[in-house]
Amino acid sequence: MTFISYAEPGTLAQSNKRARTRGTTSMDSASYAMLQLYRTNLEVRLQCMEDETLSDHQRRISSRVGEMLQALGRAKPTDGGLEWDEVYQAERLSSALFNGAQLRQEIVGRLAELVEQKAPEAPRLRHEYEALTRGGRDGHVPDDGVLRAFLVRLIEAVQWTAKKRYLVKPICKEATKKALMGVLVAFLCLIVPYVAMGFDYKSESELVSPLWSHFALYTAVFSGALGAFFSRLIALQRDWPHMGLDEASLHNDGSYVLLRAGVGMCGALILFYFFHSELISGSIFPQVSGVGLRLLAVEPPAAIHMAFTAPTKDLALLTVWCFLGGFSEVLVPGLLAKTENQLAQTDAVVKGRS
């Protein structure tokens, strides 16, 4: 099989220089370099095939793939990235050129690549290939045509996994920015009272502003918001390689971000009223009557004479639990379900006595 040499003239440094002079980004330059490497790898693999083993139909496909690779060799960093679809098409077409043991080896390699990418369809395709190689009840082993069709599906799955990650990554990046902004806003709202206390400090004989009467509720609500945004931030960083386009777009939707924050704030508010009603109590739970800020004085010579604002133990516990109420999606629903069961049991006992 005859192939033309399609190596891009110049070095990678020269291509990067051209990319900079034409106003492309570093991402464009990196994508261009990877495209050319992908193309040359594909070309070398195809050149290793023996021309005598190919049928007339396979030779026509080989000629078509060669033309596509030649066109891709003239690609530029500013062409928009659509050349990846063309090199993927050339790769799928090249699957028709494999025969016999080489075809089976290619399938095994692609299955391993799919498993490495942690694609959800990898176990299903592996089981399907094992069923094909075992043959039917009559012991008939599928011919190369059936295996080539299976190889095309494998390559499509590998390419789609790579394409999906490429498409999902910028969406998740924007979603991460929104979640991070929510974390920063909620965090700033939480520390504002500590700063404000310095301007509204009164002596022991004077009362502070009436606005401080809402401090406990304020802390609970924004602790829940902080927990909700922080939960979204961790989920995005952990799960984005496995997200679908729909799921990534949902996380990037501003209304969904606000909805998740609202759910977290409601969960924290429910916990606050549980603590206030003393339906749950103990040493690890806050006493609402003890929530507040205190001025801690450090006397010399242990340190420089100074005083600083710090939360009481109950305020710290309230903040932690309300943060968990916003962070966890099961804590508050589980608490409500448990309370409902207890009420149902109590009601049954009362009815039984009557």
Each of the 354 residues of the chain gets a pLDDT tens digit; together they read: 333 333 333 333 344 444 444 444 554 677 778 878 888 888 887 777 777 778 888 888 888 888 888 777 776 665 555 677 888 888 888 888 888 888 888 899 999 988 888 888 889 999 988 888 876 555 566 788 888 889 999 998 988 888 888 888 889 999 999 999 999 999 999 998 888 876 766 555 555 667 778 888 999 999 999 999 999 999 998 888 888 888 888 888 888 888 989 999 999 999 999 998 888 888 899 988 888 888 777 777 766 777 777 888 999 999 999 999 999 988 888 888 888 888 888 777 777 776
In terms of C-beta density within 10 A (0-12 exposed, 13-18 middle, 19 or more buried), how is residue 256 classed? middle
3-state secondary structure of 209: coil
Q: How many angstroms separate the CA atoms of 113 and 125, rounded?
A: 12
Q: Are residues 153 and 116 in the same domain?
A: yes
Q: How many angstroms separate the CA atoms of 292 and 212, rounded?
A: 9
Please, what's the largest Cα pairwise distance for the chain?
101
Half-sphere exposure of 143 (CA within 13 A, CB side): 2
**Type of residue found at 249:** S
Q: Are residues 143 and 238 in the same domain?
A: no
Q: Are residues 76 and 176 in the same domain?
A: no
* Domain stops at, among 130, 148, 166: 166
What is the crossing angle of helices 56-72 and 26-47, to 10°?
150
Region class of 139: left (phi > 0), else alpha (psi between -120 and 50), else beta:
left
Tally the domains of the chain: 2
Name beta bridge partners: 310. 294
* Domain stops at, among 116, 149, 166: 166
* Domain stops at, among 106, 131, 166: 166
Q: Are residues 297 and 184 in the same domain?
A: yes
Q: Are residues 184 and 327 in the same domain?
A: yes
Q: Are residues 122 and 199 in the same domain?
A: no
Instruction: Identify whether 94 is part of a domain.
Output: yes
Q: How many angstroms separate the CA atoms of 277 and 339, rounded?
A: 13
The pTM of the whole model exceeds 0.95: no
Q: Are residues 263 and 145 in the same domain?
A: no
Going along the chain, which residue ranges are E strands?
A: 293-298, 306-311
Segments forming the whole domain that contains residue 334: 168-353
Q: How many angstroms separate the CA atoms of 147 and 98, rounded?
A: 10
Q: Are residues 141 and 196 in the same domain?
A: no
**Cβ proximity of 32 and 75 under 8 Å:** yes
Instruction: Identify whether 3 is part of a domain.
Output: no
Q: Are residues 99 and 190 in the same domain?
A: no
